[in-house]
């Protein structure tokens, strides 16, 4: 990874910090939604906003030359995996 600064939105930063603090654990989409949006997450009809934030975060990390630490687990959630 380069030593350049990575520009993330507040939600992307919160998401990365949450994933990294739970490294090597599977985190459900509902848990991520609750973390990012608080108790209001239960009122969402869709969790598509998580996919958007995750896609943007992964793209920015990839562009910065970072390894792909974030794994998508279909139907379950995500995992920040350090090998």
* 3 domain-assigned: no
In a domain, 1, yes or no: no
Average pLDDT over residues 8-19: 95
In a domain, 44, yes or no: yes
Total domains present in the chain:
1
Residues 10-25, mean pLDDT to the nearest whole number: 95
Q: What is the mean predicted confidence (pLDDT) over 44-54?
A: 83
Burial category of 14 from C-beta neighbours within 10 Å (exposed 0-12, middle 13-18, buried 19 and up):
middle
pTM of the complete model = 0.83
Domain carrying residue 54: 10-80
In a domain, 22, yes or no: yes
CATH for 48: 1.10.10.10
pLDDT at 38 over 80: no
């Amino acid at each position: 990874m380069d030593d350049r600064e990575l520009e993330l939105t507040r939600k992307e930063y919160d998401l990365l910090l949450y994933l990294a603090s739970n490294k090597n654990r599977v985190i459900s989409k509902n848990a991520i939604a609750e973390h990012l949006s608080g108790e209001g997450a239960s009122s969402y009809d869709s969790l598509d906003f998580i996919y958007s934030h995750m896609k943007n975060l992964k793209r920015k990390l990839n562009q910065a030359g970072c390894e792909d630490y974030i794994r998508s687990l279909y139907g379950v959630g995500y995992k920040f995996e350090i090998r």
